[in-house]
Amino acid sequence: MAQGIFFFVVGPSGAGKDSLIEGARAQLGDTGRYVFARRTITRPSGAPGEDHIGVTEAQFSASVSAGAFLVTWDAHGLSYGLSADLLTALGEGCNVIANGSRKMIRQLAGLVPRLVVVEVTASLDVLAARILARGRENALEAGARVMRQVEPLPVDIETIRVNNDGALEQGVSAFVHALANASQRVRLRRVPISTGLERVAYLPLHSAVLSVGDYLGGSKVDLLADTASLSVQIQGLDAPGLLAADEIGLSEEAFAHWRVAEGAEIALRRTPSPASRQALIQKVQGQELGEPEYEMLLRDIIEGRYTDGEISAFLVSATRSLSDAEVVALARVRSRFSPTMTWDRPIVVDKHSMGGVPGSRITLLVVPIVAAHGLAMPKTSSRAITSAAGTADAMESVARVDLDIADVQRCVAEAGACIAWNGRLNHSRVDDVMNAITRPLGLDSNRWSVASILSKKLTAGSTHVVVDLPYGPRTKLRTQAQARELGDLFERVGAGLGLTVVAFATDGSRPIGRGIGPSLEVRDVRAVLANDPEAAQDLRDKALFFAGQILAWDPAIGSVEAGRRRAEELLTNGEANAAFERIIDAQGRRAPVLPGALTFAVCASAAGEVSALDGWRIGELARRAGAPADKSAGIDLKVGLGDRVTAGQCLYVIHGSNSADLQSASLLAQMSDGVTVTPIA
């Protein structure tokens, strides 16, 4: 049996709530489907107004102590309570109607299976006239009462509004109709129709319970059964042999997904809610939204209550206009859609890079340096989307990265840090829905990205975050000014979220390190950790810069300069190398992937000086060779910017393990190798 609905009736003085409830009692009281709650109030019974249970303050306090009330509140010098027995009525399938206070809505929503707020409204003139008619207040007092500011209704809780401006009969009719629309139930039936990925429900065109036309159209509808819900598209069906007049049918796929038994009583709720749809419209129009609106909107989006067209309109607007406050709100909301890690440490550090620079695998150096010092760094990283390697791809060539929360906590306890793939940890369901639409449309927004990135830092339990913002002709941020502007946004939003965030614009005009591709980048990292004199100096320097920034957050270090010195000490004395090995062991050591044995050398066609390295082109060649899926594939650079080369000298070597991929990469390199050699006069 489906549980009943708790209709919580609110509205200003003079709206006529009691009158509408009494009118509804006269029409619905004998149906057995509704329970009209009597409030317990600390005023004598028989006083003018509603039929209530009058008690003394001492009796009320005793009932509170005995757990007799579902909720209680104070107003106008009186105490009010609703009986806990109402939960029994709900469990038996009855709908409860109660007059209440809007300040109790949030608490009540967490106590009952389904809460529907019924807001009774009327114009200010009507409200004032009704208050005056009571004879308890003068015109000035009545005016002050109707103009009094009231707490706004929660936008994420189902609300229906009933206007009671006119005659009582009209108001009662509208009130009863609203209750019926929200509470009508039908029996579930499986329909032998396949709809593929679409979840479709069918209403008989001549339904004896519902007005089918009210549910047809583009918007989706929630089906409610006990605590389970399913968002579906409604279609009409004129087939009495398949659906009776009091039934609703589910397609094969929807029925298999929901797993609610045939014959179960189902309630329908139009979705998105009017408040949610209004929020979407406001954002499409370029208006600013708050945290409650974004939580409601994103929840409706990821639960499939909006069409792709509606989501696209929302995202187009959101990528064009988001205030700082909205970015903070979005980050907070997004973090609620992923599990959050908690740490019993005052400082938990993290690092993020906007990427776009081939090589530059500094995270695999920064993390062990920080861990060797003793700060906790549960680093979660992504896999490559358009590059030759992401941090998770590189780390996976030597260790397991698909960790869960328990694994991360264990690794931090054992090794002080981890370098894990975020797809299993704090990849938000929001990303799955949003990326499916934004990527084909080419939508991009730095502000939306900041909300996404910092939400992941929140769910990782971070307190301090350093951000690397590479700029250059082939990176996401073209100029230093753009990078600095985005860095300021990161820091402002971080402060709004209670995080300490510092961001730095860095040169992204050329590759960092020599290897491009998972195994080759790890090779470079190991060379730096081993203090190999042939190790890439640019990779080492950049890692020390960011490690120094992080270590400066330790009060015992105190400054960035001291942090840099401490980072270099840990690297030089081998403690960072040992920490890296501990992290690998904690995550699950794998036999290291070596650079692919199949190679093709790309050589200079003429002598001169290397004046430019096109990282984007070189990264494309590494991907053509098979990276990052083939962790042995990639590019091994043999020259750097400013080096002098002779004709025929090797510029780089392409590695791979698949001959067809290597041939494809070599042909592409012969068309354009990505290295500009300028003749020397």
DSSP strands (E only) in 566-669 = 598-603, 608-613, 634-637, 644-645, 650-656
Q: Say which residue, 24 or 150, is predicted with more confidence.
A: 24
Q: Which whole number is the average pLDDT over 141-160?
A: 68
Cis bond before residue 628 (omega within 30° of 0): yes
Q: Say which residue, 186 or 660, is predicted with more confidence.
A: 660
pLDDT at residue 567 is higher than 90: yes
CA angle centred on 322, ends 282 and 315, rounded to 5°: 65
- Name the class of domain 184-270: mainly beta
pLDDT at residue 667 is higher than 90: yes
- Residue 498: predicted pLDDT: 95
pLDDT at residue 46 is higher than 80: no
Cβ neighbours, 10 Å, residue 227 = 9
- Residue 505: predicted pLDDT: 96
Average pLDDT, the chain: 88
Q: Say which residue, 329 or 207, is predicted with more confidence.
A: 329
| Contact residues for 417 (Cβ-Cβ < 8 A; gap 6+) | 367, 368, 370, 371, 376, 377, 378, 379, 411, 579, 583
CATH homologous superfamily of 598-678 equals Pyrimidine nucleoside phosphorylase-like, C-terminal domain (3.90.1170.30)
Taking only the tens place, the pLDDT of each residue in 59-108 is 999 999 999 999 999 987 899 999 999 999 988 888 999 999 888 999 99
Taking only the tens place, the pLDDT of each residue in 168-185 is 888 888 888 788 777 777
Most confident of the ranges 2-16, 160-174, 257-271, 396-410: 396-410
3-class DSSP state of 8:
strand
- Residue 643: predicted pLDDT: 94
From the CA atom positions of the chain, what is the Rg in Å?
Answer: 32
| Inter-CA distances, 264 with 155, 188, 195, Å | 30, 5, 22
pLDDT at residue 53 is higher than 70: yes
Q: Say which residue, 267 or 283, is predicted with more confidence.
A: 283
Taking only the tens place, the pLDDT of each residue in 223-237 is 877 667 888 888 899
- Residue 218: predicted pLDDT: 63
The domain spans of the chain are 6-177, 184-270, 274-321, 352-587, 598-678
Q: Give start and end residues of each alpha helix (H) in 497-558.
A: 518-529, 537-551
Instruction: Report d(CA 586, CA 415) in Å as an integer.
Output: 7
Please, which pLDDT band fits residue 145 given cuts at 50, 70 and 90? low
What is the enclosing helix (H) or strand (E) of 173?
A: helix 168-183
3-class DSSP state of 379:
strand
**Pairing verdict, β 40-41 and 53-54:** parallel
- Residue 205: predicted pLDDT: 87
- Name the class of domain 6-177: alpha beta
Question: Looking at the DSSP assignment, which residues form a beta bridge with residue 269?
Answer: 222
DSSP strands (E only) in 508-647 = 515-516, 598-603, 608-613, 634-637, 644-645
CATH topology of domain 352-587: Pyrimidine Nucleoside Phosphorylase; Chain A, domain 2 (3.40.1030)
- Residue 514: predicted pLDDT: 95
Q: Say which residue, 590 or 1, is predicted with more confidence.
A: 590
Taking only the tens place, the pLDDT of each residue in 430-480 is 666 666 666 666 666 788 889 989 999 998 999 999 999 999 988 888 999
